[in-house]
């Protein structure tokens, strides 16, 4: 049984950044949020090793004592910034999926996830660089938040593949470990492109990533 023809709405809908800007602003308006944003901006500009506590408090326009009211050290502030970046990415993917019709097939849902991921990297380049590149220069807590995002993607792919197998019983059963390789591969290629060409170049990879996911899962397209 073939899957229904998948929609391209996630690629065509305009105003992506504008639709989601309010969510970022709401997360960063508090004093703690300003410190997180200051960390993100400074790391984007200077890299994590060169970012100092002076940079962070100056950008956030708070005192050092206020910083220590919220974070024990620079590493803890970075980990919170990585957590925030993962939450921004996850919430945007969930919101975009929610706009799809209930009868949307697995291929279109995969497309929505991949396109939203790529467009969020471009729309939030500082957070994208922090989570996907700089986190490996810090500590295990920061890397853990990056891995959390990868695991969430794997869970979504597993969910949609299970739905596709209900519609098409000829699809083989795939292990969780095999499906987990998909977001790992996409994340690594995205990291390399961010370093070599910048976050703005990531959306052009969306069609390739969609093709990769669909092929890896053996989904049928029309």
Residue with tokens 């996409």, as numbered in its chain = 186
Which residues neighbour 217 within 8 Å (Cβ) at sequence distance 6 or greater? 106, 110, 157, 161, 164, 171, 174, 179, 182
4-54: pLDDT as tens digits: 444 343 444 446 666 666 666 666 678 899 999 999 999 999 988 899 999
Indicate the SS3 state at residue 219.
Answer: coil
Q: Is residue 59 part of a domain?
A: yes
Percent over 70 (pLDDT), the chain: 84
103-117: pLDDT as tens digits: 898 899 999 999 999
Percent over 90 (pLDDT), the chain: 50
Q: Would you state the pLDDT for residue 10? A: 41
Q: Would you state the pLDDT for residue 100? A: 92
DSSP-H helix ranges across 99-175: 106-123, 125-132, 140-167
Res. 219 pLDDT band, cuts 50 70 90:
confident
Q: Is residue 222 part of a domain?
A: no
Q: Would you state the pLDDT for residue 22? A: 62
Res. 83 pLDDT band, cuts 50 70 90:
confident
Q: Is residue 197 part of a domain?
A: yes
Measured CA to CA, the distance from residue 112 to residue 10 in angstroms comes to: 5
> How many Cβ atoms are within 10 Å of 120's Cβ, its own excluded?
26
Q: Is residue 174 part of a domain?
A: yes
Q: Would you state the pLDDT for residue 142? A: 64
Q: Is residue 92 part of a domain?
A: yes
Residue with tokens 């996830």, as numbered in its chain = 113
Q: Is residue 190 part of a domain?
A: yes
Q: Would you state the pLDDT for residue 194? A: 96
Tell me the pLDDT of the chain averaged across its residues. 85
Q: Is residue 2 part of a domain?
A: no
Q: Output 209 or 152, whichever has higher pLDDT.
A: 209
Q: Would you state the pLDDT for residue 197? A: 96
CATH of the domain at 64: 1.10.357.10
Are 209 and 118 a contacting pair, CB within 8 Å?
Answer: yes
> How many Cβ atoms are within 10 Å of 97's Cβ, its own excluded?
17
Q: Quick check: 145 pLDDT over 50?
A: yes
Q: Would you state the pLDDT for residue 101? A: 94
Res. 57 pLDDT band, cuts 50 70 90:
very high
What is the crossing angle of helices 176-197 and 106-123, to 10°? 30
C-alpha atoms less than 13 angstroms from C-alpha of 182 in its C-beta half-sphere:
28
Res. 153 pLDDT band, cuts 50 70 90:
confident
> How many Cβ atoms are within 10 Å of 152's Cβ, its own excluded?
17
Rounded mean pLDDT of 90-101? 90
Measured CA to CA, the distance from residue 116 to residue 71 in angstroms comes to: 31
Question: What pTM was computed for the model?
Answer: 0.83
167-208: pLDDT as tens digits: 888 888 899 899 999 999 999 999 999 999 999 999 999 999
Domains in the chain, number? 1
Q: Quick check: 76 pLDDT over 50?
A: yes
Q: Tokens representing 60?
A: 């956030």
- Domain of 20? 9-217
Q: Is residue 1 part of a domain?
A: no
């Amino acid at each position: 049984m073939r899957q229904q023809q998948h929609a391209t709405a996630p690629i065509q809908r305009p105003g992506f950044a504008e639709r989601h800007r309010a969510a970022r602003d709401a997360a960063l308006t508090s004093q703690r949020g300003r410190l997180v944003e200051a960390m993100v901006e400074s790391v984007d500009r200077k890299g994590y090793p060169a970012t100092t506590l002076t940079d962070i408090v100056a950008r956030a326009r708070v005192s050092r004592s206020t910083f220590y009211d919220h974070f024990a050290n620079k590493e803890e502030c970075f980990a919170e910034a990585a957590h925030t970046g993962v939450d921004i990415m996850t919430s945007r993917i969930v919101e975009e999926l929610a706009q799809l019709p209930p009868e949307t097939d697995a291929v279109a849902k995969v497309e929505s996830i991949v396109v939203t991921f790529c467009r969020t990297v471009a729309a939030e380049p500082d957070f994208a660089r922090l989570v996907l590149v700089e986190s490996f220069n810090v500590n295990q807590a920061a890397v853990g938040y990056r891995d959390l995002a990868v695991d969430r993607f794997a869970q979504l792919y597993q969910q949609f593949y299970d739905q596709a197998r209900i519609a098409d019983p000829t699809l083989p059963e795939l292990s969780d470990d095999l499906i987990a390789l998909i977001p790992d591969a996409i994340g690594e290629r995205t990291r390399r492109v961010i370093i070599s060409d910048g976050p703005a170049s990531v959306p052009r990879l969306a069609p390739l990533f969609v093709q990769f996911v669909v092929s890896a899962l053996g989904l049928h397209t029309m």
